Structure 1
Amino acid sequence: MFLLAMVVAGTAAMASLFVGDLWIDAATVWDALVHHDSASSAQVIVRDWRFPRAVADLLVGAALGMAGAIMQATTRNPLASPSIMGLSTGASFFGLLTTIAIPTAGRLELMLASIAGAAFGAALVYGVASAARGGMTPVRLALTGVAVSSILAAIGNGVTIYFNIGQDMLLWYARGSEGVQWPDVIFAASLIIAGLAGGAVLSSSINALGLGDHVATGLGLRTSTARFLSACVVLLLAGAAVALAGPVGFIGLLAPHVARGLVGLDYRAVIPNAAAIGAAVMVLADVGARLATTPYKAPVPVGVVTALLGVPFFLYLANSRSSRAQGGRV
């Protein structure tokens, strides 16, 4: 299954080199990759714009897919994902504050700010949900995440208007991976690949955590250490993904569920497959956004496509969880 998902992601990434306002034939794409001619504008578009965008899509999708799988396992909450649990919005919010406080901030500063913001958003969501009467439940945690994300987004919009940087922030929020350059991709790739490797190494421990703390402890796992390391991996993946492509939602929710449906409940298989499926979904969503953009010459953010897929799925999951909980109380 992992290899199939990688083939789909790779095929979609190659197809994305042809798609855009200017449709480019296969021979030109091949020449751009193998025999690059800087005098050819079509080859420059392929090599310097579409190729890094395709690689960024793969990295961001893989990061969000794996981060969502780890979150769902460690919290034992099928509704958990970076976009729903406040990580993506927190990362975006801290990126905004860094842009205002340090106008000359480079990629490193924005990456570090995004990781710190992801930690802040997650801590805020978990803190508020835990303080609620009746304790923290999966649905309450998800609804708290939506509420906190909305509040941070509203504050961010107010700050953006006050400092008159709306155009810059709109481009960052909506562009997805559009316009990324090789230096951006290479810098983010170092963090994302480190996070992906960390998630793969921790997959056995995460699988034990998914069985519950008592079982994990009985298996000899130091649960507090495993949770801390897992949280570090999630923050690294989510923060780097947001810094590279802005807040792209719902991939971290969809990919783990698809992976579990295909390979079962063993997170040693779910985690890498969620990363591969997330990469495929992100590339396909970006291609879909470009195809929707081309006829009307109006940009369609990739986040719109992922939301069209993810929102109905989230509502279905939340409703099914609520229905089972009510049935259990009766």
Structure 2
Amino acid sequence: MVIPKNILKKGFNHPITWCITGSFLVFLSFLLSVGLGAVAIPLHVLIDAIVSFQPDNIKHQLVWEVRLPRAFAALFIGAALAVAGAIMQGVTRNPLADPSIIGVTQGAGLAIALCFAILSSGSYWMLLGWSFVGSAIASILILVFSNISKEKFSPVTIALAGVALSTLFSALSTGIALYFQVAQDVSFWFSGGLSGTKWDHVYILIPIVLIGLTLSLWISRPLTLLSLGEETSISLGQSNHKTRVIGLIAVILLSSVAVSIAGTIGFIGLIIPHIVRLFVGHEYKWILPSSAIAGALLLLTADVLARMINAPFETPVSAITAILGVPILLHLARRKRRSI
């Protein structure tokens, strides 16, 4: 195997090295996610359950029916939220942006609340469809508001319109849940969590996330140019409108499927891209895959902590990510204020 000289020269600081290290940590976290919980699963039992599954073995059933789909969901949802946040920060050129800042997540939550209010019961496909519609409507409204403003698609316009829509959608979701007496059904999506994840969810989740990741990598170079400034990217012959539309489509796909399975889990899309930039620089061809790896690692770890802190009861995963994210958010806001 021949290792490129530039990797040897940069050593551990090279982005490829960080991606390999992060992937290894994700693999370890995946094993811990399957093995740890209210009932511990030894490694040899885990391997035996995968290699020679025995339906009458309770621990084998626990591994296949509960732990594995939950671990896969944490892996792909963490990657989806982190990449969606990185895209939003690139599209809006706003360091405090993530899918919730433009109302995509809240739009999906509002659609799910309407689904429970109108239809007393429904399949996961139905919830996923409503989630996509809510996210799409939120994104279209953002595009409309930004297009009719004096400074089209400016970071400030997108951020302000997103905050306004997020607040509106959250208030409407709460009102609908209370009025139609579906607060208990909707509360799971408000609190966020991975309990109850099934293989059917994973089978839908993986291809949608892969499509979203493919779209994000397609616009990695345009996002890097866009981060240099609006005029600079246009002078280089780039269509920023096309980049933003493709980016928002990727955000819709990644955020909608994540919300439909795990509910509202905040701060992953906000903090992960900033942490990743410290190690891989500011090129989105490295930021996006590294964010996917780091986001998967964070949500896998947070899900394990959620099960272990107050076992056998579960702590909401969103509470774990908020504990990690709030201090970083305050630090970013403080640093941003200093730079003004």
What's the TM-score, normalizing by structure 2? 0.87
Paired residues of 2:89 and 2:98 also in contact (CA < 8 A)? yes
2-structure distance, mates of 1:226, 1:215: 14
Contact 1:79–1:139 (CA under 8 A) maintained in structure 2 = no
In the alignment, what sits opposite 2:283? Answer: 266
Report the Cα distance in structure 2 between the residues aligned to 1:74 and 1:82, rounded to whole angstroms. 11
TM-score, structure 1 as length reference: 0.89
Task: Verify: 1:101 aligned to 2:131, yes or no.
Answer: no
Alignment-derived partner of residue 322 in structure 2: 307
1:76 paired to 2:86: no
User: Which residue of structure 2 lines up, in the alignment, with residue 202 of structure 1?
Assistant: 219
Q: Does 1:233 align with 2:219?
A: no
SS at match of 2:100: coil
Partner of 1:169: 186
| Partner in structure 2 of residue 47 of structure 1 | 64
Q: Which moved more, 1:50-59 or 1:223-232?
A: 223-232
Residue 159, structure 1, aligned to residue 164, structure 2: no
CA contact (8 A) 1:286 1:302 kept: yes
Give the aligned partner of residue 334 of structure 2.
319
State the alpha-carbon separation in 2 of the partners of residues 13 and 235 from structure 1.
Answer: 26
Q: How far apart, CA to CA, are the structure 1 residues paired with 2:148 and 2:333? A: 21
Tell me the distance in 1 between the aligned counterparts of 2:323 and 2:269: 14
Whole-angstrom CA distance in 2 between matches of 1:227 and 1:136: 9
Secondary structure (helix, strand or coil) at the match of 2:35 reads coil
1:22 alignment partner, SS class: coil
Letter in 1 for 2:320: V
| Match among 256, 260, 267 for residue 250 of structure 1 | 267
2:116–2:182 contact (8 Å) kept in structure 1: no
Q: Relative to structure 1, is the Cα distance of residues 128 and 293 closer, same or farther in structure 2, using a 3 angstrom cutoff?
A: farther
Q: Does 1:63 align with 2:86?
A: no
Contact 1:79 1:142 in 2 (8 A): no
1:83–1:250 contact (8 Å) kept in structure 2: no
Amino acid at match of 1:316: H
Residue ranges of structure 2 left out of the alignment (5+ in a row): 1-17
Quote the Cα distance in structure 2 between the aligned partners of 1:134 and 1:322.
Answer: 23
* CA positional deviation for 1:249: 0.5
Aligned residues: 323
User: How far apart are the structure 2 equivalents of 1:319 and 1:124?
Assistant: 30
Name stretches of at least 5 consecutive residues in structure 1 with no aligned partner: 326-330
- 1:16 counterpart = 2:37: no
SS of alignment partner, residue 55 of structure 2: coil
Task: Map Cα deviations across residues 269-304 of structure 1 (whole Å, 9 max, x no partner).
Answer: 11111111111111111111111121xx43201000
Does the CA contact (< 8 Å) of 1:28 and 1:43 recur in 2? yes
Contact 2:233 / 2:240 at 8 angstroms: preserved in 1? yes
Match of 1:34 in 2: 51
Q: Contact between 1:78 and 1:138, CA under 8 Å: does it hold in 2?
A: no
1:191 to 208, 212, 225: 208
Indicate whether 1:213 and 2:230 are aligned: yes
CA separation of 1:229 and 1:144: change in aligned 2, threshold 3 A: closer
Call closer, same or farther: CA 1:228–1:151 in 2, change over 3 Å: closer
Counting aligned pairs with the same residue, the percent is 33
